[in-house]
């Protein structure tokens, strides 16, 4: 379960920024900041990691191999704004925005963010992170549920997301940022 990291030494809750976050010692935990609040996220399970790998592999083939941009996999920090630092499972930066990528993190908005939800993160991914992504201007957001074997595709309209649908099986995923993607939902789930 994602919980506020109230016991971590550093800034007061509500005042965390990338600068204070970057001073945290490596303690084996995963942290993110939403609106200045430091959260601790759980370690992913096998289903989660397998699904993340399949999503990354597909997007890397479609985007990197075609020369359209870069695909990143967690953990890699994205500083949407100074008090919002996230580590989405997978994200895409198209060539038009490559200046946002630095050696240590992405500073600014990715073109596509993918979160693989689990029972311990689904509320956080659908509330805090979804709101943060919309507020920052992330164009497209995929919520992948490895247990239900579904993918919801959300696109930003003004300052809110609109669902293009929940896709499963042979359902084709629409993409507003990479229209040539013709993936079927089942491609992102292990047959193991």
Within 10 A of 184 (CB to CB), how many other CB atoms are there? 14
pTM: 0.96
For 124-161, the pLDDT digits (tens) are 999 999 999 999 999 999 999 999 999 999 999 999 99
Report yes or no on 25 lying in a domain: no
Mean pLDDT, rounded, for 92-120: 96
Looking at the domain assignment, is residue 27 inside a domain? Answer: no
**Reduced to 3 states, what is the DSSP secondary structure of residue 63?**
helix
Of the ranges 5-14, 54-63, 100-109, 172-181, which one carries the lowest mean pLDDT score?
A: 172-181
Task: Give the 3-state secondary structure of 100-168.
Answer: HECCCCEECCCCEEEEEECCCCHHHHHHHHHHHHHHHCCCEEEEEECCCCEEEEEEEECCEEEEEEEEE
Reported as a pLDDT band with limits 50, 70 and 90, residue 192 is low
Q: Does the pLDDT of residue 102 top 80, yes or no? A: yes
* 182 belongs to a structural domain: yes
Q: For the chain, what is the mean pLDDT?
A: 95
Whether residue 7 lies inside any domain: the answer is no
The tally of domains found in the chain comes to 1
The pLDDT value recorded for residue 114 is 98
CATH code of 65's domain: 3.90.1570.10
Please report, rounded to a whole number, the percentage of residues in the chain having pLDDT higher than 70.
99
pLDDT of residue 169: 96
Is 162 domain-assigned?
A: yes
Note the pLDDT of residue 179.
Answer: 81
| pLDDT tens by residue, 155-168 | 999 999 999 999 99
pLDDT grade for 182, boundaries at 50, 70 and 90: confident
Residue 13 lies in a domain: no
> Is 90 inside any structural domain?
yes
Domain around 83: 44-188
Q: Is residue 39 scored above 80 in pLDDT?
A: yes
Does any domain span residue 63? Answer: yes
In the predicted model, what is the mean pLDDT of residues 51-58? 96
């Amino acid at each position: 379960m994602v919980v506020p990291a109230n016991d971590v030494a550093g800034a007061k809750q509500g005042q965390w920024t990338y600068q204070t976050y970057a001073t945290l010692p490596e303690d084996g935990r995963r942290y993110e900041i939403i609106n200045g609040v430091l959260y601790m996220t759980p370690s992913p399970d096998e289903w989660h990691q397998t699904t993340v790998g399949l999503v990354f592999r597909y997007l890397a083939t479609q985007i990197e191999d075609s020369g359209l941009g870069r695909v990143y996999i967690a953990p890699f920090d994205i500083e949407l704004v100074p008090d919002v630092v996230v580590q989405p499972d997978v994200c895409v930066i198209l060539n038009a925005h490559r200046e946002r990528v630095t050696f240590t993190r992405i500073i600014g908005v990715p073109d596509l963010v993918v979160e693989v939800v689990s029972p311990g993160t689904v509320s956080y991914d659908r509330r805090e992170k979804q709101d943060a992504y919309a507020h920052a201007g992330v164009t497209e957001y995929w919520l992948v549920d490895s247990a239900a074997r579904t993918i919801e595709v959300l696109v930003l309209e003004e300052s809110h997301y609109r669902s293009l649908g929940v896709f499963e099986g042979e359902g084709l995923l629409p993409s507003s940022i990479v229209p040539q993607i013709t993936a079927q939902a089942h491609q992102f789930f292990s047959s193991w």
